[in-house]
Structure 1
Amino acid sequence: MGSIMVTVVLVGIVILAIIVYVGILAYQQRIRRQVTALADKKASLVAIPLADEVKLVSQLSLTGQSLTQFEELQNDYADITQDRFKRIDAQLAQLKNDSRGLNLIQLRRDLAKDTLLVSQTDELVQTVQTKLAALQEVDKQHRQAVRDLEQKYQDLRKTLLAKNFAFGPSIDGLEERLGQLEDNFDTFTQLTQTGDHERASDVLGQLKADTASLEDLIKAIPPLYKDLTAVYPDQISELKSGYEQLSNEAYHFGDADIPGLIQKVADQVNGNLAALADLRPDDAKVINQRIADQIDHLYDLMQTEIDAKKPVDENLDNVARFIAHAQNQNQSLMAELDRLKQNYTLDHQELETARELSEQLRNIDGIYQRDVQNLTGQAATYSIVLAHQQQQEKDLKQIEEQQAKVLKSVAGLADEERQARETLRQFDFKLHSLRRQVENLNLPGVPQNYLDYFFVVRNEVEQLATDMDQPQIDMEQITKQLLIIQTDLDSLSERTDDLLDSAELSEELMQYANRYQASHEDLAKASQEAKKLFDEDHEYAKALETIATELDKVEPGSYKRLEDAYYQRKGREKPKHDDESQK
């Protein structure tokens, strides 16, 4: 048993040793593959033609910062070719040789160190190559810029010489700017030719900005100068001659000082030439627009008066007729109001309104007459007169509308009076009719509350008759009284119907109840009480309620049957308020 265990342990050790050995062999093989890859990477770096690029840049005759930068790149190139490449080769050879050994930890560290060296060398090669290419490109760009700018300045010089008349007082400043640019260009050319591209770049940036500024000036100034020396002066001359002609034709312009305004524009034109001389086209453009607006305004002032003359002449007769018609209308209105005032009270300031309209017409006519005098004396400003005419037509239309409104408000007073008198006659007839109805029943008496209400309505009718017999009638107050009396009279009519219905029905029910008095003591007492209410107290509604209540106890439904028969004989429906009062 012991020998078997020993055998098993020995077999396990052998197997483990085999596994470890195989792992070491695999790791060594992996290291060799990575060494080969690093060697290939180094070979690709060697293949980059850095030497040719260094030689090309060295032929550029660089100076200044550019030369310093190139020298730094040369040092980097020397470090790459004379140091780094050799160290990489030596370390890779050593790593390849060490890969046969068993010191795996040291092998891993050396591999990481060689990998970092190759990576850093690759970055340095790329940087050197990029910067060498940049030096070649900037040299190329600067030499092309020299050619381009030289041609551009020649063209600008030709433009200033060939079209100096288009720049006016700006020409000296423009030529001075161009001279400064050419001086700066010479500096740029010299820096480019000597290879000092760092300083040349700074000069080129400013040179481009100044050149663009000069080109903008050369483009902007001619149209502004043309306006100031050709367009505006011609328009000013036209305005002067136009004003002179219009003045000779008796045109006036109100408070506007046309000659003064024209001179102000002319002064601004002359003053704006100084802005061009100072090479300030933006300021000159603003002032030019202001000048153009003022010239347009002057043209508008003159054209307004020209356009106003014809309608002013055409409107004169129409406005005169309109004023005369409105004045006649107002006189007629005043006369009518004076006539109506004798018989009626005018409650809505009709007379005051008519007087105010008369004052307005007087003011309108006064303005019109002054305008006519000014036109006759050739002292009128047509636009002002036209504005007066337009306002006068508007005011006259409003006045006529107010006149019509006032006339309409009083036109029906006589008809209203006739209608009111007819209504008063009907009220009086109705009162007598209601009184006869009550008297015809020969009742023992009439309730005091009914009599009080009857006399209230009668007094209202009498007061209405008195008010309508006055020398001056207030129809608005009369109308209010008519409405009140109509309401009160309707109420009195309802009360009269209630009184008559209660009296007649109570008599019928007391007669009908006689058949039950001997057999029903309560009904007999109710009959006696109802008779007292009827004969002595004249409380007919209470008498009806007293007898009806007891009769319905003896003969249910009898009251309803007798009541329906009563209203059927009368030929009318039972009033709803009666139903409510019986509930």
Structure 2
Amino acid sequence: MEVVIGLILLLFLTFGTGYYFRRNIYREVDRLERWKIDIMNKSIMDEFSKVKELKMTGQTEEFFEKWRKEWDDIITSQLPEVEELLFDAEEFADKYRFKKSKNTLLHIESILKETESQIDRIIKEINDLVTSEEKNSEESEEVKKLFKSLKKVLITQSHTFGAAQQKLESILYECSEGLKRFELETEAGNHLLARDIIIEQKEALAELKEKMEFIPKYLTDCQSILPQQIQELRNGYEEMLEQGYVLSHIDMEKEISSMNQSLDNLKSQLIDGELDGVHQGLEEINEMVEALYDLLEKEVYASHFVKSEIGSYGEKLNQLMDEKNETHEETAVVKQSYTLSDAEIENMRKIEKKIQQLQKQYDQMCIQLEESHVAHSVIKDELEEFNRQLEETRKQHEEFRQMLYTLRKDELEARDKIVELKRAMMDIRRSIQKSNVPGLPIRILDKMEVAQQSLVNVNHKISDVPLNMSAVHEQLNDAVSVIESLKSETEEMIEQVYLVEKVIQYGNRYRRQYQTLAQQLQEAEELFRNYEYGRSLEQAASAIEKVEPGAIERIQAIIEEEMKLKS
């Protein structure tokens, strides 16, 4: 029973698969059939009718016959073959030869693609032929009109073209022959060939028009304007030579010869009717003329500059030399009173040596100017460099002189500072005396001794001959540091003495009530008598704060009020 059911299922499966493949093949056959019908309905006959309206000779007749044969082959051979193959594909499908049917359908599709492409090509070629005839008719009128216009210009303005007229007439004659060939090919029905000819003549006449527009101008530049400019350049050059200018660095004859040769080459090109590179060549010659003029003008300007400035630069050099001599003498005087470093002395030597070199350089330029064998532009460059070095040396010299002035200024400032420090020491002693301090702690006494010794040291240094300001500054800085520190500590000590006295006085009101407080105040007084004012203040303040918290702040407030009243 199971075997029977399996066979039935297999049978249904086989039938279903076959039905599915056949249905797909029938659908593909229907699609290809519609495609074939669309190809048959192509409006190629309408395109053929356009060709028949043309004169059926030459290329037109030849192409028409070719296209008609191709269409006949499509109708009588290719499409009937497709019809038969479609029938075969259906028949193969009915016999379950699906692979054979599919291959047949693929072959049919390739035939239809090729056929459709062939028909499209024929239609395009027909359109090209028809439109060529139409375009030829339109453009030939434009070309003929341009031809007549250019011919008229050649006749009426022949003098503007000079020797190039013959070449231009030759080009125009070739265009005339080309137009004749165009008419013949058109008459013979060779519209595509005629199309190529008319395009060629249109381009040739456009090029001829360009040549006729530019050749007269370029010939004028080559034969008149530029030669005249070159001659004026030569005249200016020779005139400057007569005036004594040194122009050996300008090879004028070589440059003029080169420009004239270039002009001859450009004229030959124009006579041959060629424009390529002519514009650029003329621009290069023009630029060379301007460049040579610039060189001559530069020489004139340089000559004016040298003649007008060399004297003033000489005066600046002489002034610097005078100042150098004064500085030399001043340096000798300063060295008797001050110690100059090796670097400072070497710097002065370099400045003096540089000034000597500048003097030699200036003398050499004056000789060159008198002998007139060096171009003024060269001397001008040398003179500008000379002035740059002169200014740089003058600046260095001024910095050296400023250094000498600074030495004396530093000495005066140092002496003023010493006086100020001595006054500060007197103020410290005076403030100690006024404050009625019982005595001074050892550290204050030691620092006062150190401060006093620092003043002695700096006095010794500033009395040395020659004076070494670096050593003076070193000793002076030490003295300033020590005395400022002494002043700070002294002021702090005086404040402590005053405050501890007030605190002990304030605490005396509690001596009878608090035995411990009385004992601590006694210890604070003992420290005070031993000049240990800081520890005395701590002891007294701690004792009172235990009895009356905030008392120290109130005491300080009272003292501040007293100070305000005094001030």
Deviations along 1:494-517, one digit per CA (max 9) or x if unpaired, are 211332343455456556656654
- Describe the shift of the 1:573–1:352 C-alpha distance in structure 2 as closer, same or farther (beyond 3 A): farther
Q: Deviations over 1:94-140 (max 9, x none)?
A: xxxxxxxxxxxxxxxxxxxxxxxxxxxxxxxxxx9xx99x96x9768
Question: What corresponds to 1:550 in structure 2?
Answer: 543
Match of residue 241 from structure 2: 247
**2:464 corresponds to 1:450:** no
Match in the other structure for 1:259: 253
> Would the aligned equivalents of 1:66 and 1:195 in 2 still touch at CA under 8 Å?
yes
Change (3 A) 1:338 1:572: farther
Q: d(CA) in 1 for partners of 2:211 and 2:403?
A: 77
- Residue in structure 1 matching 2:329, options 332, 335, 348: 335
Letter in 2 for 1:273: K
1:193 aligned residue = 187
Q: Residues 336 and 280 from structure 1, CA distance in 2 versus in 1: closer, same or farther, beyond 3 angstroms? A: farther
Contact 1:517 1:524 in 2 (8 A): yes
Give the direction of change, closer, same or farther, for the CA distance of 1:362–1:224 in structure 2 (3 Å limit): farther
User: Which letter does structure 2 place at the counterpart of 1:263?
Assistant: S
2: CA distance, partners of 1:446 / 1:304: 86
Residue number among 349, 357, 365 corresponding to 2:359 in the alignment = 365
Task: Give the counterpart of 1:218 among 180, 189, 212.
Answer: 212
Which residue in the other structure is 1:314 paired with?
308
The answer to whether the 8 A contact 2:59-2:189 is kept is no
Distance 1:455 1:259, change over 3 A: farther
Decide which of 156, 167, 172 is 1:178's aligned counterpart: 172
In structure 2, relative to structure 1, the CA distance for the partners of 1:269 and 1:549 (3 Å cut) is same
1:568–1:415 distance in 2 versus 1, CA, 3 Å: farther
Aligned match of 1:122: none
Q: Aligned to 1:282, what secondary structure does the other structure show?
A: coil
Aligned to 2:492: 498
1:473 is paired with a residue of what secondary structure?
A: coil
Alignment of 1:104-503 (within 5 A): 142=136, 149=143, 152-153=146-147, 156-157=150-151, 159-160=153-154, 166-167=160-161, 170-171=164-165, 173-253=167-247, 255-277=249-271, 279-346=273-340, 351-435=345-429, 446-475=440-469, 478-479=472-473, 482=476, 485-503=479-497
Q: Residue 548 of structure 1 aligns to which amino acid in structure 2?
A: A
TM-score (norm 1): 0.67
| 1:251 CA displacement | 0.9
C-alpha displacement of 1:277 = 5.0
Please, which moves more after superposition, 319-328 or 177-186? Answer: 177-186
Given that residues 164 and 270 in structure 2 are in contact (C-alpha distance below 8 angstroms), is that contact kept between their aligned partners in structure 1?
yes
TM-fit CA distance, 1:213: 1.7
Residue 469 of structure 1, CA deviation: 1.8
Question: How much does 1:570 deviate?
Answer: 7.3
| Superposed displacement of residue 459, structure 1 | 3.5
**SS of alignment partner, residue 225 of structure 2:** helix
Specify whether residues 270 and 456 from structure 1 end up closer, same or farther in structure 2 by C-alpha distance, changes over 3 A only.
farther
Of structures 1 and 2, the larger Rg is shown by: 1
In the alignment, the residues of structure 2 paired with residue 324 and residue 521 of structure 1 have an alpha-carbon distance, to the nearest angstrom, of: 95
Contact 1:169 1:273 in 2 (8 A): no
**Deviation per CA, 1:525-583, whole angstroms, max 9, x where unpaired?**
213322443345x4221112212322344466665666666677778999xxxxxxxxx
Task: Provide the TM-score with structure 2 as the length reference.
Answer: 0.68
8 Å CA contact 1:333, 1:354 repeated in 2: no
Secondary structure in structure 2 of the residue aligned to 1:379: coil
Between the aligned partners of 1:376 and 1:429, the Cα distance in structure 2 is 69
Write the distance in 2 (CA, Å) between the matches of 1:573 and 1:141: 120
Deviations 1:177-226 (A, max 9, x none): 33432332221121223343332222111121122122222323232232
Structure 2 letter corresponding to 1:541? G
Deviates more, 1:321-330 or 1:392-401: 392-401
Can you list the C-alpha shifts for 1:18-70, whole angstroms capped at 9, x where unaligned?
xxxxxxxxxxxxxxxxxxxxxxxxxxxxxxxxx9x999x57x6x422334678
Shift of 1:372: 1.9
Report the CA distance between 1:253 and its aligned residue.
3.1
Q: Indicate the SS of the match to 2:464.
A: coil
SS of corresponding position for 2:276:
helix
The 2-side partners of 1:448 and 1:153 are apart by: 125
**Counterpart amino acid of residue 279 in structure 2:** K
User: For the residues of structure 2 that align with 1:138 and 1:561, how far apart are their CA atoms?
Assistant: 121
Which stretch of structure 1 is more off in the superposition, 507-516 or 377-386?
507-516
Displacement of 1:164 after TM fit? 5.8
Partners of 1:572 and 1:426 lie apart in 2 by 30
- Runs (5+) with no aligned partner, structure 2: 1-48, 70-122
Question: Which amino acid in 2 is paired with 1:235?
Answer: Q
Q: Judge conservation of contact 1:181–1:211 (CA < 8 Å) in 2.
A: yes
Distance between the aligned counterparts of 1:279 and 1:355, measured in 2?
75
In the aligned structure 2, how far is the partner of 1:554 from the partner of 1:509?
Answer: 13
Q: 482-491 or 218-227: which moved more? A: 482-491
- Shift of residue 418, structure 1, vs aligned partner: 2.8
Cα distance in 2 between the residues matched to 1:74 and 1:551: 137
Identity rate, percent: 23
- 1:572 and 1:496 map into 2 onto residues whose CA distance is 23
The residue identity in structure 2 corresponding to 1:523 is L
- Deviation of 1:290 after TM superposition, in Å, equals 1.0
Q: Is the 8 A contact 1:502 1:541 kept in 2?
A: yes
